[in-house]
Structure 1
Amino acid sequence: MEAFAELVAEGTVGIVGASNHWIWRVERARRLATAAGLPGYEVLQYHHSYLRMRTDMPSLRSVDGNLGVVSGDHLSYLRETPDLALVAYSPLLGGAYVRSDKPLDPEHDHPGTPARLAALREVAADTGATLNQVVLAWLIGAEVPVIPLVGASSVAQLNESLAAVDLELTVEQRTKLDAAT
């Protein structure tokens, strides 16, 4: 944290963030930084999307599960720590929501996925928006707001993603999406 503090002091770094750490490690680092009078993490970056991945399966980074995916622990921590921002990478699952040639990862193969996909399709039909736009609007307008990190390989994809900022889901639509398990 001292090295980050030096970079912040010289203006090279504006804010400090972490990606893909266990929440207990994030909290420990923030506590140590505060005790030492140093800048702590202000941004957390994790994989997060409407469809949920299993986090209990061993991964390349940890035998204890997939630490790079937002779980209930992350959301609970962020809800109680409003000075932290959550940036979600791969919120559109590399095109898996809209492209039949991009299947979901095996970590999405669980009983909750079909119900959540059905709810997503219903809300997209209700709003006249694309599946991707509904996913992004769901993230942006969540109780724990998310900054989605999206990529685009065409101007049309960029415009589609940008239009999600103006899509406001109703309470009923958000409840339908959140209740799907």
Structure 2
Amino acid sequence: MLGASNHWAWRVERVRTLAAAAGLPGYEVLQYHHTYLRQRTDLPTLRSPDGDLGVASGDLLSYLREEPRLTPVAYSPLLGGAYVRSDKPLGPEFDHVGTPARRAALREVAADAGATVNQVVLAWLMGGDVPMIPLVGASSVAQLEESLAAVDLELTPGRRARLDAAGGSEAGL
């Protein structure tokens, strides 16, 4: 199985087209940074003056919806603890109007579901219209058990709708 990480969607498609034309296997797994909070993707990075190509942006998510045979993997979905730890601030890529609304919706859904914020983030990723395999790190058995419990957390359609609606137009960032 071949995979790629942190490429523009057009570049992934180009490689898959070239591989198919040559009778070779193409990418089957795509790994990108993706989480419930939306990041600005327009900020230049060291790898690209055009923005952050390592983030699952709208064009990549749209591409994945049209290519259901591709398996998306989301790395750092819990933002290194930033969802639950005050000593782990979010970076400037999260500094926009949608972040506070999405954080509030996340806390409300977690309380309503009797789950942790981290479990809701992971369940949201796994059960979305573009299901993601979250790549989760744990530094304790308790953290691992918390993350594994997210597999059994099924977000109701109402809860998912609340999460998806929060933050409004910032989703295009």
TM-score, with structure 2 as normaliser: 0.96
Of the candidates 42, 48, 69, which is equivalent to residue 55 of structure 2?
69
Larger Rg, first or second structure (1 or 2): 1
AA in 1 matched with 2:53: L
5+ residue gaps, structure 2:
168-173
Query: Does 1:148 pair with 2:102?
Result: no
Percent pairwise identity:
79
Please give the alpha-carbon distance, in whole angstroms, between the structure 2 residues aligned to 1:105 and 1:159. 27
Report the CA distance between 1:100 and its aligned residue: 0.7
Aligned residue pairs total: 167
Q: What are the residue-to-residue correspondences of 1:127-166 with 2, within 5 Å?
A: 127-166=113-152
Query: Does 1:111 pair with 2:97?
Result: yes
Question: 1:21 corresponds to which residue?
Answer: 7
5+ residue gaps, structure 1:
1-14
Root-mean-square deviation (Å) = 0.4
Which contiguous aligned blocks of 4+ residues in structure 1 show a shift greater than 6 angstroms?
Answer: none
Question: 1:49 corresponds to which residue?
Answer: 35
Deviation per residue, 1:47-100 (Å, 9 max, x gap) = 000001100110111000000000110110000001101000000000000001
- Tell which has more relative contact order, 1 or 2 (C-alpha 8 A, sep 6+): 2
Question: 1:95 corresponds to which residue?
Answer: 81
| Local SS of the residue matching 1:46 | strand
Question: 2:170 corresponds to which residue?
Answer: none
TM-score, with structure 1 as normaliser: 0.92
